[in-house]
Structure 1
Amino acid sequence: MELREGQVAVVTGAASGIGLAMARRFAAQGLKVVLADVEEGALHKAADELVAEGATLLARTVDVSDRDSVLALADAAYDAFGAVHVLCNNAGVGSGAEGRMWEHEPNDWAWAFAVNVWGVFHGIQAFVPRMIASGEPGHVVNTSSGDGGIAPLPTASVYAVTKAAVVTMTESLYAHLKAENAPVGASVLFPGPHMLRTGLWESHRNRPERYAKERPRRTPYRSLGQWETAMREAGREVEFTPVEEVAAFVVDGIRAGRFWLLPASDHSDRQILARSRSMLDRSAPDYLENFILD
């Protein structure tokens, strides 16, 4: 898809991290941007920054787990700009689940699925029919993760399951768009190839009361900085991919019409091969046995 000045891009989870980087990149390409985020203060700060950089935008406080909130976002975007050409379903959260899967609180699963899976579905239903009806080229990017989208991450199983669901949802969306001969493409994004400095580690700050934990955590939430310090103390250096590189990768991928927005990585390639070999051999997933599940 050709990206042209004056087109419109909608980005959820746009107040920080990958979402803000994508919005900034689209704006730099001359697109109008619609910023959506559940965190009102951070959203307005991000919007002020982009306006100061010359962006034309609309900012809306949106809870993607709420269908009506996403439908209202679509109405606002079309009322403001008359069209949407790029949709990035990027909002996501961790879960805060502790212990073994059979010990997890149902609300940990309910909240993660409400945002990471239902949020993507709500975005598709709110925007894609209008994008198809316009007859103009368009593109949908759904943010997954290598942690689940490529191979399971048992240490964050709830999050991993939701991100695996995003991959299958995007594959199905792609097939449906092709069946309709729609001028709208679809991609699934695996941010990386290394760790990212995003607000996902502190996503519990925006956890709604309706998905509140039923019992106190056994251990405090750990920030990204605390985790990074612990890794260094254990003798492990952690590499980070700048979110700006992810945003540039997305723009290039949309232009090229790529489905798999998967950066080159020996680590990811090994995961893909190990999982594929296990399935083809009908063998136990030995690649999961090295995880330390304390």
Structure 2
Amino acid sequence: MQLRAGQVAVVTGAASGIGLALARRFAAEGLRVVLADVEEEPLRAAADELIADGAEVLARTVDVGVREEVVALADAAYDTFGAVHLLCNNAGVGSGAEGRMWEHEPNDWKWAFSVNVWGVFHGIQAFVPRMIAAGEPGHVVNTSSTDGGIAPLPTASVYAVTKAAVVTMTESLYAHLKAERARVGASVLFPGPHMLRTGLWESHRNRPGRYAKQRPRRTPYRSLEQWEAAMKEAGQDIAFTPVEQVADLVAEGLAADRFWLLPGSEHSDRQIRARSQSMLDRADPSYLEHFILD
């Protein structure tokens, strides 16, 4: 899909991080942008910034885990701009789960799934039928993660499971769009190749009451800055990928009509090969041993 001035892009989780970087990149290409986020004040600040730079913007406060709110977002986008050409299902959260999987609170899983999985599904159902019916070129980009989307991350299993689900959902969407001979494509995004400075680390601040934790955490939440400081104290240097680089990857991938929006990374390639070989060999997942030893 070629990005052209006048097209309309919808981005969820658009108030910060990857979502805001995507919105800025699309606006710079002359697209009209629809920003959706659960945080009202940062969303308004993001919208004001883009408007000041000359972009046409619609901003809506949306909890993507609530189907009715995503449908209302689609209605507002079409009422305002008359079309949607690009949908980025980007909103995501952590989970706050602690301990082994059997010790997790069900609400940790319910909340993560409501945003990371159901949020993507709600976006597909609310927008894709209208995008297909319009008969114009369009595209859906669903944000996954190398943590789960490529290989399991047992130390953050809830998050990893949701991101694995996003990959399979996007593969299925791709197949369904091809079967319909639709002019709408699909891609799955793996931000990286390194760590990213996003609001994911503080996503617990937006956890809705319906998914509240039912017992106190054993350890306090750590911000990205606190985690980074702890890593440096332990003698480990952490590399970060600028979110603008992720937005560039998406724009380039759209132009090349790529399904896998996966940056080059020796680490990721090793994970892919190790997991694939384990399956082909019908062998135990030895690539997880360093987690088992923890």
**TM score, norm. by length of structure 1:** 0.99
Q: State the match for 1:163 in structure 2.
A: 163
Q: Secondary structure of the residue that 1:151 maps to in structure 2?
A: coil
Mapped partners of 1:125, 1:150: distance in 2: 25
Q: Runs of 5+ in structure 2 lacking a partner? A: none
Q: State the match for 1:23 in structure 2.
A: 23
Q: State the match for 1:256 in structure 2.
A: 256
Q: State the match for 1:74 in structure 2.
A: 74
Q: Secondary structure of the residue that 2:219 maps to in structure 1?
A: coil
Which residue identity lines up with residue 273 of structure 1 in the other structure?
A: R
Q: State the match for 1:100 in structure 2.
A: 100
**TM score, norm. by length of structure 2:** 0.99
1:1-294 equivalences under 5 Å are: 1-291=1-291
Which residue identity lines up with residue 242 of structure 1 in the other structure?
A: P
Mapped partners of 1:37, 1:254: distance in 2: 23
Offset of residue 78 of structure 1? 0.2
Which residue identity lines up with residue 216 of structure 2 in the other structure?
A: P
Task: Give the 4+ runs in structure 1 shifted more than 4 A.
Answer: none
Offset of residue 3 of structure 1? 1.2
Q: Secondary structure of the residue that 2:152 maps to in structure 1?
A: coil
Offset of residue 53 of structure 1? 1.3
Q: Secondary structure of the residue that 1:291 maps to in structure 2?
A: helix
Offset of residue 158 of structure 1? 0.1
Offset of residue 273 of structure 1? 0.5
Mapped partners of 1:211, 1:107: distance in 2: 5
Offset of residue 85 of structure 1? 0.1
Offset of residue 242 of structure 1? 0.2
Q: Secondary structure of the residue that 2:172 maps to in structure 1?
A: helix
Q: Give aligned pairs, total.
A: 294
Q: Runs of 5+ in structure 1 lacking a partner? A: none
Offset of residue 63 of structure 1? 0.4
Q: Is the 8 A contact 1:187 1:260 kept in 2?
A: yes
Mapped partners of 1:199, 1:280: distance in 2: 38
Which residue identity lines up with residue 224 of structure 1 in the other structure?
A: L
Offset of residue 280 of structure 1? 0.5
Mapped partners of 1:86, 1:230: distance in 2: 39
Q: Is the 8 A contact 1:155 1:293 kept in 2?
A: no
Q: Deviations over 1:174-211 (max 9, x none)?
A: 00000000000000000000000000000000000000
Compared with structure 1, are the counterparts of its residues 292 and 270 closer, same or farther at alpha carbon in structure 2 (3 Å cutoff)? same
Mapped partners of 1:293, 1:217: distance in 2: 24
Which residue identity lines up with residue 200 of structure 2 in the other structure?
A: L
Q: Is the 8 A contact 1:231 1:237 kept in 2?
A: yes
Mapped partners of 2:56, 2:191: distance in 1: 26
Which residue identity lines up with residue 238 of structure 1 in the other structure?
A: I
